[in-house]
Chains A and B, each alone.
Chain A
Amino acid sequence: MNAIDKTKPAEEKRSRYSAGVMEYRKMGYWQPDYEPKDTDVIAVFRITPQDGVDEIEASAAVAGESSTATWTVVWTDRLTACDKYRAKCYRVDPVPNSPGSWFAYIAYDLDLFEPGSIANLSASIIGNVFGFKPLKALRLEDMRLPVAYVKTFDGPATGIVVERERLDKFGRPLLGATVKPKLGLSGRNYGRVVYEALKGGLDFTKDDENINSQPFMHWRERFLYCMEAVNKAQASTGEIKGTYLNVTAATMEDMYERADFAKSLGSSIIMIDLVIGYTAIQSMAKWARRNDMILHLHRAGHSTYTRQKSHGVSFRVITKWMRLAGVDHIHAGTVVGKLEGDPHTTKGYYDLCREDFVPQNLAHGIFFDQPWASTRKLMPVASGGIHAGQMHQLIDLLGEDVVLQFGGGTIGHPMGIQAGATANRVALEAMILARNEGRDLLGEGPEILKAAARHCLPLKQALETWKDVTFNYSSTDTPDFVPQATAAE
Chain B
Amino acid sequence: MRLTQGAFSFLPDLTDEQIGKQVQYCIDNGWAVNIEFTDDPHPRNTYWELWGQPMFDVRDAAGVMFELNECRKTYKGRHYIRVSAFDSTHTWESLRLSFITDRPEEEPGFALERQEVDGRSIRYTTRAYAANRPEGARY
The short answer to whether A and B are in direct contact, CB under 8 Å, is yes
Residues of A at under 8 Å CB distance from B? Answer: 161, 164-165, 168-172, 201, 224, 227-228, 231-232, 234-240, 264-266, 356, 374, 377, 422, 425-426, 429-430, 432-433, 436-438, 452, 455-456
Sample of 12 A–B contacts (CB below 8 Å): A165-B94, A165-B95, A168-B98, A235-B109, A235-B112, A238-B1, A238-B3, A240-B43, A433-B11, A436-B21, A436-B22, A437-B22
Chain B residues with CB under 8 A of A425 = 10
Considering only residues 1-55 of chain B, those with a C-beta below 8 Å from chain A are 1, 3-5, 7-12, 14, 18, 21-22, 25, 41-44, 46
Closest 10 CB pairs of A and B: A171-B97, A235-B112, A231-B124, A436-B25, A238-B3, A235-B110, A171-B7, A170-B95, A170-B98, A356-B91
Give A164 to B85 CA distance when docked, in angstroms. 14
Q: Are B84 and A170 in contact (CB under 8 A)?
A: yes
Interface residues of B (CB under 8 A from A): 1, 3-5, 7-12, 14, 18, 21-22, 25, 41-44, 46, 84-85, 90-99, 109-112, 120-124, 126, 128
When chains A and B are docked, how far (Å) is the Cα of A361 from the Cα of B128?
51
Which residues of A sit under 8 angstroms from B122, Cβ to Cβ?
224, 227-228, 265
Q: Which residues of B contact A436 (CB under 8 A)?
A: 21-22, 25, 97
Partner of A433, one of B5, B22, B109: B22
Whether A224 and B10, one on each chain, are in contact in the complex, defined by CB atoms closer than 8 angstroms, is no
B25, B43, B85, B109: residue with the most chain A Cβ atoms closer than 10 Å: B43
**Minimum C-beta distance from B81 to chain A (A):** 15
- Name the residue of chain B whose CB is nearest to the CB of A230: B124
CB pair B5–A234 under 8 Å, yes or no, is: no
B8's partner among A429, A438, A456 (CB-CB below 8 A) is: A429
Decide yes or no: A432 and B7 within 8 Å by CB, A161-B92, A170-B96, A236-B109 being known contacts: yes
How far apart sit A189 and B135, CA to CA, in the bound complex (Å)? 40
Known contacts: A228-B122, A433-B8, A433-B18. The answer to whether A237 contacts B3 by CB under 8 A is yes
A426–B11 CB distance below 8 A: yes
Chain B residues whose C-beta falls within 8 Å of the C-beta of A234 in the assembled complex: 43, 112, 126
**Residues of A contacting B99 with CB < 8 Å?**
171
**Is there an interface contact between B12 and A237, defined as CB atoms closer than 8 Å?**
no
* Contact pick for B10, options A161, A169, A422, A438, CB 8 Å: A422
Q: Quick one: closest B residue to A199, CB to CB?
A: B4
CB contact between A161 and one of B41, B93, B97 (< 8 Å): that residue: B93
- The answer on a CB contact under 8 Å between B91 and A266 is no
Asked if B91 and A239 make an inter-chain contact with CB atoms under 8 angstroms apart, the answer reads no
A201 in contact with B97 (CB, 8 Å): no
B7 touches A239 (CB 8 A): no
Of A164, A232, A236, A430, which one neighbours B11 at CB under 8 angstroms?
A430
- Report which of A161, A235, A240 forms a contact with B111, defined as CB distance below 8 A: A235
User: Which B residue's beta carbon lies closest to that of A426?
Assistant: B10
Q: A161-B92, A168-B5 are in contact. Are A238 and B10 (CB under 8 A)?
A: no
Q: Which of B11, B22, B111 has the most CB of A within 10 A?
A: B11
Q: Is the CB of A201 within 8 A of B4?
A: yes
Contact B121 A170 (CB under 8 A): no
Residues of B within 8 A of A232 (CB): 112
Bound complex: CA of A374 vs CA of B112, how far in Å?
40
User: Which residue of chain A has the shortest Cβ distance to B128 in the bound complex?
Assistant: A238
User: What is the minimal beta-carbon distance from A307 to any residue of chain B, in angstroms?
Assistant: 31
Q: Determine the residue in chain A with the shortest Cβ distance to B84.
A: A170
User: A238 and B41 in contact (CB under 8 A), knowing A168-B5, A433-B22, A437-B21?
Assistant: yes
- Known contacts A231-B112, A437-B25; is A238 also within 8 Å of B4 by CB? yes
Inter-chain contacts of B11 with A (CB < 8 A): 426, 429-430, 433, 452, 455
Max chain B C-beta neighbours (<10 A), residue from A171, A234, A238: A238
| Interfacial chain B residues near A456, Cβ < 8 Å | 10
Residues of chain A within 8 A (CB-CB) of B97 are: 170-171, 436
B10 to chain A, nearest CB (A): 5
B11: nearest chain-A partner, CB-CB: A429
- Which residues of A lie under 8 Å from residue B91 when comparing CB positions? 161, 356, 374, 377
For the A-B complex with A161-B92, A433-B14 known, give 16 more contacts whose Cβ atoms are closer than 8 Å. Answer: A164-B94, A165-B94, A168-B98, A170-B95, A170-B98, A171-B7, A171-B95, A171-B96, A172-B7, A224-B120, A239-B43, A266-B124, A377-B91, A425-B10, A426-B10, A437-B25
User: Which residue in chain B gives the minimum CB-CB distance to A172?
Assistant: B7
Most buried by B among A172, A236, A436, A437: A436
Query: Whole-angstrom distance between the alpha carbons of A264 and B8 in the complex?
Result: 32
A245 to chain B, nearest CB (A): 14
A238 touches B42 (CB 8 A): yes
User: Which residues of B have CB within 8 Å of A172?
Assistant: 7
C-alpha spacing A171/B4, complex, angstroms: 14
CB of B89, distance to nearest CB on chain A (Å)? 9
B46 (CB) vs chain A CBs: closest residue: A168
Known: A168-B46, A171-B99, A374-B91. A236 touches B7 (CB 8 A): no
User: Which of these, A164, A239, A265, A437, contacts B121 with CB under 8 Å?
Assistant: A265
Contact (Cβ within 8 A) B109 A238: yes
B residues less than 8 Å from A430 (CB atoms):
11
Max chain A C-beta neighbours (<10 A), residue from B7, B12, B25: B7
Chain B residues, Cβ within 8 Å of A165: 94-95
Please indicate the chain B residues that have their CB under 8 angstroms from the CB of A437 in the complex: 18, 21-22, 25
Q: CB-CB < 8 A to B9: which residues of A?
A: 239, 429
Min CB gap B127→A, angstroms = 8
Chain B residues, CB < 8 A from A164: 94-95
B-chain residues with CB within 8 Å of residue A432 when the two chains form the complex: 7-8
For A264, list chain B residues within 8 Å (CB).
121
Q: B residues within 8 A CB of A374?
A: 90-91
Q: What is the distance, in angstroms, from A411's C-beta to the closest C-beta of chain B? A: 19
Residues of A within 8 A of B126 (CB): 231, 234-235
